Amino acid sequence: MSLDYTHPRLDRPSSKRKLDDYGPTDDETDLVSVRMRKDNDPIPAVNSLPTNPIPPPHHPHHHQQQSSSQWAPSSSSSSSSSSSSSSLSRLHQINPPPKQLQFFVRTMPSSSGRSKTLVLKANSFDTIESVHEMIREITKIPVDEQRLIYEGKQLQTEQTLAECSVRNDAGLVLVGRMRSTLYPKAWRLVDELIKLILRLCKGEEKDCNTVLTKVLSNKVKEFLSEITSDSKLIAEVPTAGHLQVFSTACAPDALVMLYMSPYKGNKECGDESIRRFVNWGLNVLPKCLRFLCVPIVLEFCKLMNRGGSSRRDPLYCFCRSSLASMMDCVRIMNGSKHNVCGDSSKALISFQDVHLFVIELMARLCTDLEASVTPPASPGPSSCDVSDLTAFLVPLCMAIVEHRGSMGSIPLPMREGDYKLSCYAPEIKSLHDKFDALVGSLEQSLEKLEECLAVKEKREGEHLPLGCAHYLTILKDMNSLSRLYCGAQDKFGRILKRRKVAVCHLIIKYATRSNDHRWLLMHKGVTDFECRRHFAMMMLPEAKEDYEEIHEMLIDRSQILAESFEYFSHAVPETLRAGLFMEFKNEEATGPGVLREWFCLVCQAIFNPQNALFLACPNDRRRFFPNPASKVDPLHLKYFKFSGRVIALALMHKVQVGIVFDRVFFLQLAGKNVSLEDIHDADPCLYSSCKKILEMDAEMVDSDALGLTFVLDVEELGSRRIVELCPGGKNIVVNSRNREVYVKYLIEHRFVTSITEQVACFAQGFSDILCESKLQKCFFESLELEDLDWMLHGSENAISVEDWKAHTEYRGYKETDPQILWFWKIVGQMSADQRKVLLFFWTSVKYLPVEGFGGLASPLFIHKASESYNRLPSSHTCFYQLCFAPYPSMAVMEDRLRIITQEHVGSSFGTW
């Protein structure tokens, strides 16, 4: 007799009925008699729910002859003496028993929670009592405290090994007294379930196979319903107990064995039963208890792998994907310590188990990516594989980072000092190898995508590589992996730069609001304006034409700022995000066109320097930053919050309002520091003075020729006061050694400290409109200042008549009609200001998008009106529609257009 191997058991339950698993040493497998576990495999440590294998059943073609009596159904835990004699008699009639048997016995855990697997040898005619004696000699456990379990039944001491049908390499379980159990019905159901499976796998009852599979299916249903039969509320303890029974009795092993059986109908029955169990865990169990199913689903995956199932086997993929969806309730064990401390509501899985899934999926993605760019092209990566990789990779990377601590990126080959990761060394090396391979395959796919995009630009009908919709997700996963290894992040960044065209296309086409794409901030240099704008707009709710709920406003034009502020101050963010309905008092029009005009007018009022909220930059009057003296209005902070909401809503509705932020304001919204070069536009005088101080000869500065100390003379509300830039600043003289610090403090006070409250309130109002308030800094960080300029102000180019004409369609007119030819000729002769007024009259668009007319939500329309030519043109700004009658001459048309292109005419929608 010898000790096979030892490993820990975690969170051992106190139930006497607990059965442990065992591990045979033979690696061989066949379709029915499958060796379900290897000796050196660690037991999946998942809280209090271990999994156990079932002893391999008889296969008709197995090289060892087995007794058929072991398959006889029995409803009791022990056999009578007469049935034992009968069984032994039949055994001798069929095949003589082997002279020597080797079998495995799993012992009870010690006080430390560790259990042992014993390898025993005995004669087939030795009694069970003699086996108990052998166990006592090794374990010192008294014979009367021992109970041996085999195939779900307790072995009686007076029986022989042959009478109990114990085969060579069989697995027995040693437990304590089994005088009672908390879940007798569950044990009975599982026992009957396994007996049915064994009968089906023997293949000797083909005539009643269909009946048996139906009975088996009903047993699975009955067992699952038993868990919830006692109470309407599914509780953790009874659920864990029932699943413990399921696992202890080796039901997962038996079901996989049935699935892999070659006999007709068995595979389908096993498939249905396993899916039923997994779906029950996903859809019936409350999310807080889902972790209890993790070890069993993991066991299904491992058993199918060891049984020779293909990694593309549908049932295996289903179980793997189901496990992936449960990874939010999983903790990965910390290395070789098997640390079980932490959240008890999460299942524990070994690092190696998760690593195997990651390696498997990365290898599959490599194969699929290479096949998708090689004729004949394959469908490319599947969405299931991609989502599963993300689910397994994220916690795996987190486990490595957590375990490594502050040691930084991992060098390869690993240094001797990297003792913290020594237990992961082979896995970390193979993970890096797969990273290199997958990144290489991904670059080939991106190169192929760029080739297809170049061809598509020249001609229509070119198809992009299949599966390219998943490239962005794979890139995100590889970005996570690259951060673990020294030099990998730079390598990954270089690949993105080489394939910038493809990356930008993927972001614009496939990045959605439902996914987190903040990893792209690390590679902002790879993106262009269109990408960054798309990324930022995903953080805002999507503007819709039809809303279930809307926030209604009736505004007096003469009081637009005050009344708009009142409406917004009483509104909750949800209603503002839902939709806005705008109407001006005593005016007829409503709809999107009126809303566009309101945005422009209210922003003009907010950023009007006379209202003391914002200051315009001296060098660029379009640029604004918060006014330090805004406190002249007691409500100024509420107005800044209102301003933030308005600007966010304008961006959400894609309305260009004609104003832009100064860099000092933009940087603070992005959570970045303000430097000397950043204040150039906001305060040219201060910028120039600071530059001179820094560039002045050191001896002159040290001679106190400047007469400066660390103070600032501030004027507020007509009075002046001295502010110290640091404690004791009035006594600190500026010299060549501290002048850089002086300039830094000066800038910080002037453009940060003095407007901290205003910036914070604006940011709060802006974040109220975002999909998630925590994304406020991320929104501005994702953009360049020039990007925000184009999004808020729009195009600075003069209106192009050719672009205007190219994006205009006709209703009632044809492009060759005289009235249309006259119209465009007249527009071409207009001044720039007249064209702006005409565009605003037509569309309520005061500032075109940076793309010009192509950036508008729809084309423009000229509609043939049936009214008299004495009437002036009219418009439906909501639909970008201009209406005019078929004027008899160009002179008449020019006169009508001259009237509507006067500023006071084109700035309202008519009165009641």
Identify residue 911 by its one-letter amino acid code.
Answer: T
What is the DSSP-derived secondary structure letter of residue 235? P
1 in Cβ contact with 120 (< 8 Å): yes
Distances (CA, A) of 218 to 193, 626, 780: 9, 72, 58
Distance CA 630, CA 606 (A): 12
Which of 165, 164, 250, 187 lies closest to 16 in space, CA to CA?
A: 187
Q: Are 413 and 395 in contact (CB under 8 A)?
A: no
Burial status of residue 58 (CB atoms within 10 A of its CB: 0-12, 13-18, 19 or more): buried
Q: Are 847 and 658 in contact (CB under 8 A)?
A: yes
Tokens of residue 265, six digits: 């109908």
Neighbour-count burial for 218-242, b at 16+ CB within 10 Å, e otherwise? ebbeebbebbbeeeeeeeeebbbbb
**Tokens representing residue 341 in the block:** 């401390």
Say how far apart CA 472 and CA 511 lie, in whole Å.
8
CA dihedral angle for residue 803, residue 806, residue 810, residue 815, rounded to 10 degrees: 110
Helix (H) or strand (E) holding 115, with range, is: strand 114-123
DSSP string covering 315-351, please?
HHHHHHHHHHHTGGGEEE--GGG----S-TTSEEE-H
**Residue 229: CB partners within 8 Å, gap ≥ 6?**
none
Size of the chain, expressed as the number of residues it contains: 912
Q: Which long-range contacts (CB under 8 A, 24 or more apart) does 830-839 make?
A: 830/901, 832/798, 832/799, 834/901, 835/799, 835/801, 836/799, 837/900, 837/901, 837/902, 837/903, 837/906, 838/897, 838/900, 838/901, 838/906, 839/799, 839/804
The DSSP call for residue 631 is G
Residue 600 bears catalytic tag: no
Angle at 733 between CA 732 and CA 734, to 5 degrees: 120
CB-based burial label for 694 (10 Å; 0-12, 13-18, 19+): middle
3 state SS of 54: coil
Count other Cβ atoms within 10 Å, centred on residue 458. Answer: 7
Q: How far apart are CA 330 and CA 349, in angstroms?
A: 7
Residue 456 CB: number of other CB atoms within 10 A?
13
Query: CA-CA distances (angstroms) from residue 683 to 465, 673, 688, 717, 793?
Result: 52, 17, 9, 19, 22
Tell me if the bond preceding 634 is cis, omega within 30° of 0. no
Name the CA radius of gyration of the chain, rounded: 39
Give me the long-range contacts of 823-831 (CB less than 8 A, separation at least 24).
823/862, 823/884, 823/893, 823/897, 825/890, 826/890, 826/893, 826/894, 826/897, 827/801, 827/897, 828/801, 830/901
- Is the separation of the CB atoms in 424 and 407 below 8 Å? no
828 CB-near residues (< 8 Å, 6+ apart)? 801
Asked if 36 and 256 touch (Cβ cutoff 8 Å), the reply is: yes
Q: Which of 269, 308, 273 is nearest to 33 (CA)?
A: 308
Contact 862, 815 (CB under 8 A): no
Residue of 384, 423, 778, 878 marked active site? 878
Q: Give the C-alpha distances (Å, rounded to integers) separating 897 from 637, 799, 823, 876.
A: 45, 17, 9, 16
Catalytic residues: 878
